[in-house]
Amino acid sequence: MTLSASRLRMVLSYDQEAGIFRRLLATSRSVKVGDIAGSAPKVNGYIHVAIDGRSYLAHRLAWLHVHGVWPMNDIDHINGKRDDNRIANLRDVTRSDNLRNQRAATAKSRSGLIGAHFHDASGLYCSSIRTSEGAKSLGYFKTAEAAHEAYKIAKRRYHATCTI
């Protein structure tokens, strides 16, 4: 059974400015009316909220609470902070648009900057981006920072939903 907006609003209040849920019902001895609902597991940084024995992602609940319907796609945290569930920071986007909103380089990145990769053969940093036409080279640069800047400019040009 899928949680309805009316059931959600019966058990939790939602502060849109703070992005916080509070309990409206005492569901056990350890849960009291007014308690903040949710916990952020260390695994992925998303806040999870338990309702009627099921765990839900708080950002999806925020969407349901405000709009009255479940999101059609992924919910993207515009600022990249997974625990910032203010409704102004959330948007319903396709999976590909959500993945394009990556804000940091991967852990194995040698430069530490998104879009900047060290090219061993040239001794320079290179940058590229994927577009609807395929991969596009952005050039070679003396510094990782310059490659990163070129990537950010291209990202804003080619990815309409980009927020970096």
Query: pLDDT by residue (tens digit) across 61-111?
Result: 999 999 999 999 999 998 888 999 999 999 999 887 777 666 666 667 778
- From residue 19, alpha-carbon distances to 2, 13, 63 in Å are 22, 10, 11
- From residue 5, alpha-carbon distances to 9, 69, 86 in Å are 6, 7, 17
- Buried b vs exposed e over 137-161: b needs ≥16 C-beta within 10 Å? ebeebeebebbbbbbbebbeeebee
- Sequence-distant (6+) residues with CB within 8 A of 134 are none
Residue 71: helix, strand or coil by DSSP?
coil
Q: Identify the pLDDT of residue 104.
A: 67
Residue 67: helix, strand or coil by DSSP?
helix
**How large a percentage of the chain has pLDDT more than 90?**
51
Q: For 11-29, what is each residue's pLDDT tens digit?
A: 999 999 999 999 999 877 8
Structure tokens at 140: 């070679």
C-beta of residue 47 within 8 angstroms of C-beta of residue 40: yes
Q: Identify the pLDDT of residue 37.
A: 95
Handedness of CA 96, 99, 102, 105 (dihedral sign): negative
pTM: 0.73
When the pLDDT of each residue in the chain is averaged and rounded to a whole number, the result is 88
